[in-house]
Structure 1
Amino acid sequence: PKLRMVINGDAEVNANRAEISASVRSTSTKYKNAAEKLAAASHHQPEQSDETGSTDEADRSRSHATDKALVSCFVHLESPEVAKTEALRRDERRDVQQDNLIVADLTPRDIESLMTGQRTSAYARKIAYVETGSPLSAPKPVTELRTSAKPTGRKLGTPRAIDQARVVVGIIDVGGFDFAHPDFLRSGEPRFRAIWDQGGPGAGTGAQGRIPEVRYGTVITPAMMKAAMKDADVAGVLPHDFMPQSSTRPGSHGTHVASIAAGNSGVCPEAHIVGVTIALSGDELERRSTFFDSTRLAHAVDFITEYAANVGLPVAINISLGTNGHAHDGTSPIARWIDTKLSRPGRCVCVAAGNSGQEAATFDGDIGYLSGRIHASGRIPARGLNADLEWQVVGNGIVDVSENEMEIWYRAGDEFCVQVRSPSGCESEWVGPGEFYENQPLPSKTFLSVYNERYLPANGQNRISIFLSPNLKSPINGIEAGTWTVRLKGIEVRDGRYDAWIERDDPRPLGRLGDSQAWLFPSYFSSTSNVDSNSVSSLACGRDVIAVGNADMSQDQIHVSSSQGPTWDGRPKPDIAAPGSDIVAANGFAGGEDRDMWVSKTGTSMASPYVTGVAAVMLAKERRLTAKQIAGIMRRTAQPFAGSDYQWQDAAGYGVIQAEECLERVAQPFAASDLGEDE
């Protein structure tokens, strides 16, 4: 559905959409940065040009947009035997194939030709369908305090028993990696073997020894790190002044996560460390020139696994990012991509379950629950009956200029129609199965799009997608604030169950818009509609990844914010819980003061790298383990919280990881006893 919205946008709309959309990138220099436009929107109209005005001029604008906008997509082929050709490639393309999936950057013109059947090559005619990547949400751990006290007690095993240098730990994250922090130095040498900054300048680099080729961004090698540290020491400045990254925020999330998993104070302190920075930053003003969706996550996983293969070592990868896109059943393109990578022994991927577990305020002024109200569910018992979902968009001095998205998934045997009513009472037409209602302007100048799709290729189920879009042409208008009502009606009901998720925005201010502050702000379900389950990130719903919840060890309970399962298809996720509350680790880019070297954070983002470190040590000890075997050992040895039994729990999984017991069992899959042998 989102592809149709991009196709229908002209150059100005897609340039502005690129500022707020993870999967749209604009190279246009004609339109100013959206933050500047928002600040000026209420004061003047843009100058007329050949890209605004008459219908003919609008057509030229749309043609111009096809040259200036790119959309990151997963392209699904009819079968994996279809050979990849140059059919989708141009100078800027970064397409990569795995099985029957291709990651490719397409222009609106490319997409339109595929959707309308104008497929000029034999290869293009083998395409089953195309969809955008899912937006990645910036992690939102709670930062507790800065400290000069180095953490202790995370390291497992002994150097003599396990050669931890025989494993790669990959970290895919945001905020940059402070390679010069003491937690990543050994005898003055950086322990990072490579950092791929996807948002860095340049058009990528060729293979550098064992470091894989990349087609965009910047790769920082150990030699470059050492040179920056040397030059910084002479000049009396910080190393990242000589080796800048696209994001070097103090308290860097990626640095903190890497420290937990594999820093000198971490769980696996001898490992090769490879970092990939996704181009997602809360204070980044030029988002239009980068992608930050799940297609970039696929590239990151490829980069790390290829490095590990080049050095001949097993690998454990951590992903402390999230998305709510797709059906939460492991059938999304990125889930399938990662699961395919995990089909080989010696690989493991751990994913933070998410911080969407809180449904109500726990103290006065607490708004953490807004991040938890992302899921609703229910059942329409019979034909002709209705069910309403209440969808909240913020107001009270804030104008939301993000594109808000809700997905409603229901079973293949049912047929529902849907109607949307705005806070001011404007009602859309009913949209039945196989119908859509696209980019329709409402009196509030909010644009509404509704798609009711049948039998999705990924899982054969039905999906309703609803988008609330701001007016992205000057003068810019935000989404109408208040309660939007989504009404479902049963047409043919055999099962009747449905689940809905709201895709998350990263809250950030953009500037003034008239008398209000313009924000990208997450919408959420009302307390009436929210259902406190199934909130685990869809990234953590993959069949072979290990989904990790946040254990508050000081309270002997799961943290209130930790997301719950199960998956939409009923599988037990999260798998495990790990220490994730008040975790002290490296404070990246803090300025070099001893008192600021370490920082405490809380979230599933901190729990997941602990499990990644344990998985890495397990693989260092026994590289033949598969991802499923690692997960099985962790589940088998987990310790439930006090008062719980060994049954899976929706937020804690099978219990708290028992790291040393996991290590004791790594040989068991390969050590069967023959009871038929004579004594």
Structure 2
Amino acid sequence: MVNPLDRMRKLNSRLRCVANGDSSVNAVRAQQNGAVRLKPAAQKLAVPDLANLTAGDSVKASKHIIDRISRGPKQVELAKDVEVNVFVLLNRESAKTPAMVTRRNGRVGTATIRVSDLHKLDSDPVVQAIELAETLSAPNPHVARNKGQEPSAHRFQQFNEGSLTVGGHDQKIDNIGENVLIGIIDVGGIDFAHEDFLDEAGNSRVIAIWDQGGDAFDPPDLPVSEDRAGKTKGRGSELTAGHIAFALKEAKAARVSPYDLAPQSQQIRGSHATHVASIAAGRSGLCKKAKIAAVLISLPDEDQDRSKSFYDTTCIVDAMSYLFALAEARPDIEAISINISLGTNGGPHDASGFLSRWIDVSMTEPGRSICVAAGNAGQEAPEYEGDTGFWSGRVHSSGHIPSAALRRDLEWLVVGDGVEDISENELEIWYSAQDEFDVELLSPTGMRIGPVSPGQRVENLLLADCTVVSIYNVLTDPKNGDNRISIYLSPYMADPIVGITAGAWKIRLTGKVVRNGRYNAWIERDDPVRGRIRAQWRLPSFFGPATFVDHSTLSSLACGPRVIGVANLDETRERINVSSSQGPTRDGRMKPEIAAPGTKIVAACGFDPDNKWIEMTGTSMASPYVAGVAGLMLSLNPELTAAQIGGIIQRTSQPLPGSGYEWNNGSGFGVVDLTACLREVLRMIQPVDDLTDRLQQQMKGAR
């Protein structure tokens, strides 16, 4: 029978990999891929628990599997019990929104769809491309073991009340922040009862929490698109200001925790989201009078639970739509500053990705700003014996093939060390539309796959060692018109599971048609999980020491034109933290824009009655600092655009010692200067000094 995928032409390679797997394979994949979810009927499948798999289990199974089959079967029917989150690119701005698209902004839409229904979208004439959303990586800041000392509630007081002198005049800023919403898109839960979020009357300044993985309350209503009336129900649970106020008031009388009365699916001690919100808008933070709203991306601890939830880039689209609608519905809110301290490393890193395009369109309206953590993939070498931080840093490579028939090799290392990697590993190579490259893959055991020429693919090829290989050599990607090579190393995900062969995989690029010759490659990052052997199944792969290139490691979410990408400043040492990701983007734009304090930052510790404060280090801490700065700027002038805010922050930045005002791939344009930013905003709203009359008088006098 014919594989139904062969009739589809608009699916990207990542989505084809999912669609070409049966329900049992995708049940395993859903534990690791945030854009894949099992429908309730499939959740009854007997799915191996990845965290309980040991190396010995799969080694014994590999010979049995090879004896049984030589290649994964072709799909004759697409799975009906597996759902995916996808981005949909429409072929023109005026196109009517397809019925299956639930959210839309410009030409880009999103949809949650059964794999078996993909053909309906693919056959729609207004649809140009369909792309599986990217999995969001869990934030990985360094958490100090020692208890954090309580920060002063007055450390940013001078920026929230009093006055600033601008042009010789004092400007009052007494109520700054009250007209602003700080939006937090994060994980871990928001400790709305923490003292850092309470006002003088004991009320929480947290006015809403959309818990995308919760079920305690009704889900929120979300806007759809401009050409479709009404709203659609979101997923999860929405904690409103009323729920939060009720919980705070009744908890003492009922002798229970307020979180028993207004529960969240994530209430993690030392919550990342709580810490981030505290930096941006806590009483000890920057925009200390702002209202706070949060969207919690569903990222459960247990792998079996992750298979039932979405935690991908379309979740950020939904989160932004929710926060914008919330701000617009309240007359006391004039502007919104959003922070995202989550990331992903996939895509072309040139702002042509669908999420970047969505954000860019959203940021054209005044009164909006968005800050994104640059990422913690900056470390290139171990700093001490046993340090594995460089695993997450060696994610980028680049080079040049001077002419046709010449070749370049990339070394791709899969970690072994006695434990098998049973996570999916993905690598993308982006190169100019002027060129054509052949690609070959050489396994650590000497198996050679390819060459795969432009327009060709290898799909779900089962090697003798039970690693499953897919290679797609795509000409003219619809996002940017450039060429892309995607390579996937997957474990054998049927029963029993067999991990990827550890060692050095080699990717060989050979010039076929060369006019430009330059290429960039990125590995999608996995976070290493430490602990007992049976729990060390999620391992990162990375480029070898002679292959990786120590720049352009910026999170793909931070590559957008209207996004402020923020690097991690070690304020004590007056230098950029070694873990902070670097720019520029693939198309040479100067990202990140700015650096802010992100090392050893003490802020609110969520859901821990014995410890109210915690110290963390990462770009996750630097980004909300700048989001708080943007919130204060917007409070002074709610008509500012994201472009203006970014321009002011760049223009007023201060270089690090030994640096000049030129952009640097680690620190951007320098360190954010809060005082200078506020003064610049106040200067903008002062009456314009019109020199016309004075110049006319001078000209008359000259005559």
TM-score (norm 2): 0.88
SS at match of 1:398: coil
Aligned ranges 1:569-588 → 2 under 5 Å = 569-588=587-606
How far has the Cα of 1:274 moved from its partner?
0.7
| Pairing 1:105–2:112 present | yes
User: In 2 relative to 1, CA 338–204 (structure 1 residues): closer, same or farther, beyond 3 Å?
Assistant: farther
Q: Does the CA-based 8 Å contact 1:151-1:585 persist in structure 2? A: no
Tell me how many residue pairs correspond in the alignment. 649
Q: Which amino acid aligns with 1:164?
A: G
| Pairing 1:350–2:371 present | yes
| Pairing 1:626–2:641 present | yes
Aligned ranges 1:284-303 → 2 under 5 Å = 285-303=304-322
Q: Does the CA-based 8 Å contact 2:403-2:517 persist in structure 1? A: yes
In 2, Cα distance between equivalents of 1:553 and 1:34: 46
User: In 2 relative to 1, CA 238–203 (structure 1 residues): closer, same or farther, beyond 3 Å?
Assistant: closer
Q: Which amino acid aligns with 1:410?
A: Y
In 1, Cα distance between equivalents of 2:499 and 2:315: 28
Aligned match of 1:83:
96
Q: Does the CA-based 8 Å contact 1:384-1:491 persist in structure 2? A: yes
How far has the Cα of 1:29 moved from its partner?
2.4
Aligned match of 2:671:
656
* Match 1:226 to one of 245, 268, 274: 245
Aligned match of 2:578:
560
Q: Which amino acid aligns with 2:242?
A: A
| Pairing 1:3–2:15 present | yes
User: In 2 relative to 1, CA 583–517 (structure 1 residues): closer, same or farther, beyond 3 Å?
Assistant: closer
| Pairing 1:199–2:196 present | no
SS at match of 2:625: helix
SS at match of 1:562: coil
How far has the Cα of 1:622 moved from its partner?
0.5
Q: Please list the CA deviations of residues 49-103 of structure 1 after superposition, one character each: whole Å capped at 9, or x if unmatched.
A: xxxx99xxx89x974x6321111000111112112242x26xxxxx111111111
Q: Which amino acid aligns with 1:32?
A: A
In 2, Cα distance between equivalents of 1:204 and 1:460: 42
Aligned match of 2:142:
142
Q: Please list the CA deviations of residues 124-159 of structure 1 after superposition, one character each: whole Å capped at 9, or x if unmatched.
A: 211011001111111111112323523441342416
Aligned ranges 1:257-656 → 2 under 5 Å = 257-283=276-302, 285-312=304-331, 313-508=334-529, 519-590=537-608, 592-593=609-610, 596-656=611-671
| Pairing 1:673–2:689 present | yes
Q: Does the CA-based 8 Å contact 2:35-2:134 persist in structure 1? A: yes
Aligned match of 1:256:
275
Q: Does the CA-based 8 Å contact 1:509-1:519 persist in structure 2? A: no
How far has the Cα of 1:518 moved from its partner?
5.1
In 2, Cα distance between equivalents of 1:37 and 1:556: 41
Q: Which amino acid aligns with 1:205?
A: P
How far has the Cα of 1:675 moved from its partner?
1.7
User: In 2 relative to 1, CA 580–242 (structure 1 residues): closer, same or farther, beyond 3 Å?
Assistant: same
Q: Please list the CA deviations of residues 515-566 of structure 1 after superposition, one character each: whole Å capped at 9, or x if unmatched.
A: x655112111111111000011110000011000011110011111111100
Q: Which amino acid aligns with 2:390?
A: Y
User: In 2 relative to 1, CA 44–326 (structure 1 residues): closer, same or farther, beyond 3 Å?
Assistant: closer
What is the CA RMSD across the aligned residues, in angstroms?
A: 2.6
SS at match of 2:307: helix
Structure 1: which 5+ runs fail to align? 47-52, 90-94
Q: Does the CA-based 8 Å contact 1:471-1:478 persist in structure 2? A: yes
How far has the Cα of 1:281 moved from its partner?
4.0
Sequence identity (%): 43
Q: Does the CA-based 8 Å contact 2:214-2:265 persist in structure 1? A: yes
Q: Does the CA-based 8 Å contact 1:141-1:605 persist in structure 2? A: yes
In 1, Cα distance between equivalents of 2:218 and 2:303: 20
In 1, Cα distance between equivalents of 2:29 and 2:361: 32
In 1, Cα distance between equivalents of 2:415 and 2:656: 37
In 2, Cα distance between equivalents of 1:247 and 1:14: 25
How far has the Cα of 1:371 moved from its partner?
1.1
Structure 2: which 5+ runs fail to align? 1-12, 62-67, 163-171, 223-230, 698-703
In 1, Cα distance between equivalents of 2:537 and 2:431: 32
Q: Structure 1 stretch 226-235 or stretch 605-614: which is displaced more?
A: 226-235
| Pairing 1:74–2:83 present | no
